[in-house]
Amino acid sequence: MAEAHAAVAFSFAITHEGFDINYDHEVLNLVWNSGVRSWKKRLARARNGVRNGVYPAHIQSLWLISAIALGLHFAGYQAPFNLTNRLLVHLPSNTINWQVTACFLAALVIWLSICFTMRYTLKLLLMYKGWMYESRAPGSRVSLPTMLWVAVVRVLSSWNKPGLYSFQGSLPRLPLPSVSDTMTRYLRSVRPLLDDDNYTRMERLAKEFEQNIGKKLQWYLILKSWWSTNYVSDWWEEYVYLRGRSPLCVNSNFYGTDAIFMNLTNKQAARAANVVSLLLNFRRLIEHQELQPIMVQGMIPLCSWQYERTFNTARVPGLETDRIVHYKDSNHIVVLHKGCYYKMLIYHKGRTLRPCELQVQIEEILKANATPLDGEEHLAALTAWNRSKWAEARNTFFSRGVNHVSLRTIESAAFVLSLDDEPFEFDLARPELLDNFGKKLLHGNGYNRWFDKCFTVCVANNGRVGFNAEHTWADAPVLGHLWEYIFGDDIYGYDESGDTKGTPEFQPPMPTRLSWDLTPCLSQIDEATMDVTKLINEVNLRILVHQEYGKGFMKKCHISPDAYIQMALQLAYYRDAGRFSLTYEASMTRLFREGRTETVRPCTIESAAWVKAMQNQSITNDERVKMLQAACDRHQLGYQDAMCGRGIDRHLFCLYVVSKYLEVDSPFLNEVLSEPWRLSTSQTPHGQTPKMDLKKHPNCISAGGGFGPVADDGYGVSYIIAGENLIFFHISAKTTCQQTDVQRFSENISQALADIRSMFEQHMKDHPKPAKSITNGAST
């Protein structure tokens, strides 16, 4: 009740003596400041909306054109199309004031015409994807159309400094492939996986689908591609993520690690405070649209749509489907420490708190000798539970009262900060420490991460950090961009004693405990805890640090590092499982508006032939090198097609969704969509922001991150090419499957990389002048 009274800013009562008015000046001041802050944000959004609407033109150019229009009119010259005089006819009179008004209106019409001409010219230019397929082999020449295209795009994209969303209106829509093209690509992708009889059967199913029901389904997709901004993204978010009923923990959420070769401070409160401050700075850049959009090769923009929900976002469970809730603003974060939840204000006296002030708040939490309420310590296990069960418990026990208020406090927070009471450790001589580091971030103990939140920042008691992120609202590159931004500035945030720099200007508001009444739902919390404990015990994780060589040697071989690693994974999996498997590699489609991901299928006819050649001692080394180059070329072409909207799987997925809406059964789609991805891979990008100067700070790079296995009998592999001589592999698998073993697979990856290196070294020794590369396309 004391907290409830403290929340009342104004009250009045009628007595026999008149009105009795009571108000809290401090709370009213907070309300006033909150309103002012809200209006400032609205005005900033309106200003940015106008700027983005006319980009790549300058808003200031309107005044130049207005001055020219005034000068022409009063000098006796006509404006283009005689606009000034034509507008003047419709105005009340011909006085000087109305003539000036007509000049401004004419200038506005001309300016808007120029703006939209520039904007749609840029949009037409960005539809061109021929640059993607240009050869980058030594000595190759860029085609004349691409050279001209580059020149014009550079002029338009550098005409004005872009904001975060400036290019959104200029990005093209994701193209819809034809059914015939998708069938051709699909059949080629499954050829190495099927014997002759099954391949013939699949050819028949594909042909029947293309000639019959496929045509009808495609017409509906054509309509959707015309009507919607992106014909895939909304269905992908709904059916792949929000309608999934499996726990988010391990199955959906992913994690990211610290820069493990650096140890900036051992003080938990200082590291947490500085990271929180940098995250809030990043949020401000997004809100003010001051964050520069990611530009491929410095001129081709990627879609920034996913950044909108980076903060103040939560996934809310539903009985049949979840929903993403994004709050426009939040002036607090929620801190989880030793099973207790705290609301921590991050905005006070008209500004965001500084790192030294945030450290004071966090130290107060660490010093508190608080005891969790009944059920509070294991409460977050509900977010790692089956989604329908969590939704039912939420509707029953968290829809009113203190539970509702506290749950809303968590969901409306900017993000969740978890202060762990254990260290995150790393030692090259003890690889199991890094494995445990990853496990603590992937799932923790099952109840010290709020898995529904956009992301949970995890800070260990030795100052190491990491995050666990919900996957629905964005893909890993967005979190990778945020994480790079943090590391770029985090190295400068501490003094000699390991504390944050600076001195607090005032005593910051102290964190307050969240209140709960969890007695009625203790049985649900206990059941969720048992389920998540079983889940995390079934998952094993191995983080392989490969330091023998990295992208430096791969480039020396004139092969894309991504293709090189994917071929190594194909060889490693074949040796591990004794067969080829359908392989998933995530590619991005953010060259298009609201684009997310597309699937690249690295297991190809060419890669399978090379893998078999590596196992056949009668094949010469030179033949193996040529076969690997051909396999890498094919992989690069598949990656380029995926990035350019010519992928296989998203088109098939959308055709399947339409078939379910129409209640039409398709044996072909049913079989295709049920195929398991036993090897699911993803590359963690880095170098997305120039803030991270790896030449100056070579150790300032994250070890990447990972995810759980997609199939119960498969592997999940995430890798980051961290430098010229460093690669990290995050390998996950289920312990309940006797066919998979993360330690064995990591050894197979190391051996595959060693064998490829030996193969190329022998080839270079036999041919002192490197053979001309036949690898085409952009390095990934």
Widest pairwise Cα distance in the chain: 107
- pLDDT confidence band for 780 (50 / 70 / 90): very low
Average pLDDT, the chain: 90
Average pLDDT, stretch 153-160? 82
How would residue 711 be classed by pLDDT, with cut points 50, 70 and 90? very high
Q: What is the mean pLDDT of residues 107-119?
A: 90
Q: Which long-range contacts (CB under 8 A, 24 or more apart) does 391-399 make?
A: 391/317, 391/318, 391/319, 391/322, 392/319, 393/521, 393/524, 393/528, 394/316, 394/317, 395/319, 396/521, 397/518, 397/520, 397/521, 397/524
Mean pLDDT confidence for 689-695: 72
What domains are defined for the chain? 1-46 (no CATH), 55-134+142-159 (no CATH), 179-239+541-766 (3.30.559.10), 253-537 (3.30.559.70)
Give 29's pLDDT tier (boundaries 50, 70, 90).
low
Give the pLDDT of residue 10: 47
Inform me whether the pLDDT recorded for 364 exceeds 60.
yes
Burial class (CB in 10 A: 0-12, 13-18, 19+), 365: buried
- Select from 268, 447, 278 the least CA-distant residue to 366: 268
Q: Out of 437-451, 487-501, 595-609, 744-758, which region has the weakest mean confidence (pLDDT)?
A: 487-501
Residue 9 has pLDDT above 50, yes or no: no
CB-based contact 681:719 (threshold 8 Å): yes
pLDDT at 24: 54
| Mean pLDDT value of segment 582-608 | 96
Q: Catalytic residues, which ones? A: 471
CA neighbor of 514 nearest in space, from 653, 265, 254, 332: 332
Give the pLDDT confidence score for residue 356 in this predicted structure: 96
**Which residue, 207, 137, 175, 182, is CA-closest to 560?**
137
Q: Which residue has the higher pLDDT, 649 or 4?
A: 649
The CA distance from 454 to 478, in Å, is 12
Residue 734 CA to residue 538 CA, distance in Å, equals 5
Whether the predicted pLDDT of 565 surpasses 60? yes
Q: Please state, in angstroms and rounded to a whole number, the distance separating the CA atoms of residues 453 and 468.
A: 9
Record the tokens describing residue 322, joined without a space.
Answer: 């979840």
Return the CA Rg of the chain.
29
pTM exceeding 0.85: yes
- The residues, any chain, with a CB within 8 Å of residue 224's CB and separated by 6 or more, are 231, 654
pLDDT tens digits, one per residue of 196-218: 999 999 999 999 999 999 999 99
Confidence of residue 698 (pLDDT cuts 50, 70, 90): confident
* Position 421 confidence tier, pLDDT thresholds 50, 70, 90: very high
Q: What is the pLDDT of residues 642-655, one digit of tens each?
A: 999 999 999 999 99
Dump pLDDT digits (tens) for 497-539: 999 999 999 999 999 999 999 999 999 999 999 999 999 999 9
Q: Is the pLDDT assigned to residue 623 strictly greater than 50?
A: yes
Using the CB atoms, write b or e for 660-676: b if 16+ within 10 Å.
eeeeeebebbeebeeee
What pLDDT, on a 0 to 100 scale, did the predictor assign at position 88?
85
Dist. CA 439–CA 257, nearest whole Å = 11
H or E, element range at 469: strand 465-469
In which order are the strands placed within the sheet that holds 340-345? 512-513, 340-345, 332-337, 416-419, 455-459, 465-469, 254-256, 705-706
**What is the Cα–Cα distance from 485 to 281, expressed in whole angstroms?**
10
Residue-wise pLDDT tens digits, 217-252: 999 999 999 999 999 999 999 999 999 999 999 999
3-state secondary structure of 25: helix
Separation of alpha carbons 232 and 648, rounded Å: 12
Phi–psi pair at 555, nearest 5 degrees: -70, -35
pLDDT band at 32 (very low <50, low <70, confident <90, very high): low
Give dist(CA 710, CA 583) in Å, integer. 11
pLDDT higher than 60, residue 15: no
Percent residues over pLDDT 70 in the chain? 92
Average pLDDT of span 470-494: 92
Measured between alpha carbons, how far is 352 from 361 in angstroms, rounded to an integer? Answer: 13
| 83 has pLDDT over 90 | no
Q: How far is CA 353 from CA 288, 332, 341, 350, 636, in A?
A: 18, 11, 20, 9, 47
Mean pLDDT calculated for residue range 11-32 = 56
For position 418, what pLDDT does the model report? Answer: 98
* Residue 780 DSSP label: -
- In the predicted model, is pLDDT for residue 293 greater than 60? yes
How far is residue 35's CA from residue 39's CA, in Å, rounded to a whole number?
6
